[in-house]
Every structure is written in C-alpha cells, then in structure tokens.
Amino acid sequence: MLSEQSPTSDLPRVTVITPSFNQGKTIRKTIESVLSQDYPNIQYIVMDGGSTDTTCQILEQYGDRFEWISQKDNGQSDAINTGMGKATGDIIAWLNSDDMYTPGAVRAAAIAFANNPQADLVYGDAQWLTLDGQLISKVVTVEPFDRKRLLTISDFICQPATFFRRAAYEAVGGLNPDLHYCMDYDLWLKLTSDKPAIYIRQTLAQIHCNDETKTSSGGQQRLHEIRNMIQKHGGDGLPAYYRIEYAGLLLGELSKCLKRLLLFSCLKHTLVIASQLLNSRVIGTLFSRKLYQVIRSRNHRIKAQQTR
C-alpha cells in the first residue's frame, strides 16, 4: 500500500494536457498549478488553438519548462486527442485553461492508481471559484462511484478532478470529436463499462465560475447531445438531473408563449414538461436532499458572478 511518503520512483509518470484558446486571463494560474505540484514525474503539454490574445506570450515566458504548440485545431476534443498522441505518461488527464489543480492533486491520483491496479479512472472532489479566485463552494454534484447512477441520474464525475490510464483511453478510442458538450461524460461511461472508477475524498481541482462556458451556454442543444450519447450507452434518454434542467428551460419557453397567447405551443410545452417530470427517476430526485444542495450551490454561483 503506497502513501503520501512513497518515493516518486514507485509511482507512474503522469501526463497533463491543457487545451487552450484565448484564455490569457487565466492560463497562467492553470500552468502554475501544474508546475507547482510536489510530483516531479510529470509531462505537461499545452495545446493552444491559435490564440490571438496574450496566451502565446505567456507560454513563451516559461521557456522549456513544458511542451506547447499553438496552431488551429477542430475544437477542444481534437486538441486533447492530439495532445494525448504526444503523451508518454501511464496516467493522463486534461486540465482546461481556466481550471487549477490543488497542491498534491497529482500525487494523490497517482497513489490511488498504484493502490487500485484494477481501476482505469480515478476522480476526486473540486471547488468553485470566482474569476478573481475567491472560494464559492464545493462542487456538490460529486459522489462515490455508481455506474447505474452515472447513466440514469447525472454526470457526477468532475472533469478537472479526473485522471485515467493512457492504455484504457487509447483502447476506447479516446474522446469522441463529434461531441461538443459531453465528450467527458461519454469518456467516463466508456472507461467504466466493465470496471468501477475510484473516488478519493480529496479536493483535487478548482474551477473558475464563468457563465461563458459551454455547459452554461449550451441550452437545449447540449441536452439533446447528452440524450443521444446516453442512448448509445444503453440508457433510455436524459438522466434525471438533465430532465429537470430541460423542464426548466421549457418553462421559460412556456412563459413566453403564454404572454403571446400561443395556445398550441403552450399545450405542446406543457405536455413535454410533464413527460420529463413524471419520469420515475425524476420524481425520486425531486424530493432528494442532493437536489436541494445542487440548486443552492447553483444560486451561490449565480450570486457570486453578479456581485463580482
């Protein structure tokens, strides 16, 4: 059993990849959080999509302390997959250019893999931060691994706090470049199809709360992509949390239709909302303490963004 005191020679090489595009405001914090890890056996690669802001100037300031390339790509999945092709570590992860690792995160993940040789995926807790670095709250959606809940309730694995084996990543074909919003969710399901993930109760990452992220701005298009992806993994449509989110979006559309007296559209939206909320898994989720925590955390983030 390895521990925090285990010598680095007993632990595997870890590759961290940062995809980036015009993130000059935050990428320095991301880089520093990787370079300051107490785990010297790290390969760090920054894959920049041809930024036109200050990103490249910042990258140049680090000299040869890590590998980086700036060129046009076909989006985040393409950048990550290209970076993975350069990876030499047994364990890999990607850390977006507005997220950060906490001190000791990489070592904690490497120890978890060494102590659980059957696992291909390790994840931990994370925290929400304001853009100026103030703590908002814990990411309350994270929970111990249960693949059935991952498929039917929500994506409770927080991407910046996740590490996985390179061999397993390559075996499942890596990230699906056709997915824009849920390529990480899809990857978790592929990596855990025949073995469980390991959850470690330690904060491994911090996420800047930004209403310009794909998750925040994806709307119905994001939910449709999640639904189609889940069906390919054998699920029966949107997981419970996303059904509730979809019903909320449609309530907004219903309100607009009511003001314009569009009665047919009102009826259509009402029927779809009912079909989402009357799902058996949704009914159980609506009365759960977890949903209350998720809503409360979301309200804290919204308030923090409005007052920054």
Whole-number pLDDT of residue 263: 81
Mention every residue, 6+ apart, whose C-beta is less than 8 A from residue 205: 95, 99, 100, 101, 102, 105, 124, 126, 127, 158, 160, 161
Higher pLDDT, 253 or 58: 58
- The model's pLDDT over 155-211, given as tens digits with 9 standing for 90+, comes to 999 999 999 999 999 999 999 989 999 999 999 999 999 999 999 999 999 998 875
289-307 burial, b if ≥16 CB within 10 A, otherwise e?
Answer: eebeebeebeeebeebeee
The token duo for 36 is 């300051």
- What pTM did the predictor assign? 0.89
What residue spans define the domains of the chain? 8-211, 217-307
User: Counting beta carbons within 10 angstroms of the beta carbon of residue 230, is it exposed (0 to 12), middle (13 to 18) or buried (19 or more)?
Assistant: buried
Whole-number pLDDT of residue 202: 97
% residues pLDDT > 70 (the chain):
91
The token duo for 100 is 């950060």
Listed residue (192, 26, 36) closest to 105, CA to CA? 36
Whole-number pLDDT of residue 307: 55
DSSP state of 17: E
Higher pLDDT, 209 or 89: 89
* CATH code of the domain made up of 8-211: 3.90.550.10
Residue pointed to by tokens 């309530």: 251
Higher pLDDT, 268 or 226: 226
